[in-house]
């Protein structure tokens, strides 16, 4: 049973427009969420995080939104750049329960020039 | 500051042969993880260390996989004997604590033929 889902395997966006990557989870104990970016032949790179006590966290062009009632989070990239083309992984953990991070299957973002 | 270093980057072995992967975490990081990533999927945790103690190895196939973290710094992951289904990317990651984001190495791509 997949606890963290990323239902869109791929997404294409025009350069300069907004990219929205979605993530859904099933475990209501999850209280901390991360987004990672992965380029080919490299390990995942930490991008941004959000705690369940917040509903938004922003870092430059990247904003993560958390909707706890819907068990849904999204990553917004504005404006999108060709260098943002990568696979994005959503990860979640139940820190207060000592659980390790669980990763989603990833969404491949292509930003077209 | 150096990131997480893994070696080798690539390994091709015949089935039933042994293989070992090495990881040097970020200096000062007490928590070390080994993940396995299959094609098209997110990383899956194999084992987590807090210093030199393996605190979560519930997902490690113990009949053929073993790991150690000597002196709470470097770590090795071994497979003996390897099976065709072990072909994957093996990622090492470290963090300052279990509740913090993990930093990943570049991974070792294992191909079992």
The phi, psi pair for B71, rounded to 5°, reads 60, 20
Question: Among A32, A24, A25, A19, which Cα is nearest to A86's?
Answer: A19
Q: What is the pLDDT of residue A30?
A: 94
- Rounded distance between C-alpha atoms, residue A106 and residue A92, angstroms: 13
* Cβ pair B102, A46 in contact under 8 A: yes
Q: What is the pLDDT of residue A2?
A: 82
Q: Do B104 and A44 touch (CB under 8 A)?
A: yes
B-chain residues within 8 Å CB-CB of A86?
none
**B31-54 pLDDT, tens per residue?**
999 999 999 999 999 999 999 999
**B61-86 pLDDT, tens per residue?**
999 999 999 888 999 999 999 999 99
| H-run or E-run covering B67 | strand B65-68
Q: What is the pLDDT of residue B1?
A: 64
DSSP β-bridge partners for residue B103: B94
**B11-30 pLDDT, tens per residue?**
999 999 999 999 999 999 99
Give the C-alpha distances (Å, rounded to integers) separating B102 from B19, B34, B65: 25, 11, 22
B91 touches chain A (CB under 8 A): yes
pLDDT per 10-residue tile (average), chain A, 113 residues: 91 98 96 96 95 96 97 98 97 85 96 94
Calculated CA dihedral for residues B92, B26, B97, B62, nearest 10 degrees:
30
B-chain residues within 8 Å CB-CB of A95?
98-99
Cα dihedral sign, A29-A19-A48-A2? positive
B101 touches chain A (CB under 8 A): yes
């Amino acid at each position: 049973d997949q606890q963290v889902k990323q239902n869109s395997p791929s997404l294409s966006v025009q350069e300069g427009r907004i990219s929205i990557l979605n993530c859904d989870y099933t475990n209501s104990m999850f209280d901390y969420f991360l987004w990672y970016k992965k380029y080919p032949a490299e390990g995942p790179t930490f991008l941004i995080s959000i705690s369940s006590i917040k509903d938004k966290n922003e870092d430059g062009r990247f904003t993560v939104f958390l909707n706890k009632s819907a068990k849904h989070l999204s990553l917004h990239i504005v404006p999108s750049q060709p260098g943002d083309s990568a696979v994005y992984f959503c990860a979640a953990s139940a820190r207060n329960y000592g659980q390790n991070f669980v990763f989603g299957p990833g969404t491949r973002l292509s930003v077209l020039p | 500051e150096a990131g997480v270093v893994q070696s080798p980057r690539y390994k091709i072995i015949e089935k039933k042969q042994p293989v070992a992967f090495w990881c040097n975490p970020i200096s000062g990081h007490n928590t070390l993880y080994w993940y396995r990533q299959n094609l098209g999927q997110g990383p899956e945790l194999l084992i987590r260390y807090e210093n030199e103690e393996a605190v979560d190895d519930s997902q490690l196939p113990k009949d053929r996989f073993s790991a150690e973290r000597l002196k709470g710094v470097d770590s090795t992951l071994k497979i003996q004997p390897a099976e065709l289904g072990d072909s994957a990317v093996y990622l090492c990651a470290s963090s300052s604590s279990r509740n913090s984001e993990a930093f990943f190495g570049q991974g070792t791509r294992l191909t079992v033929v």
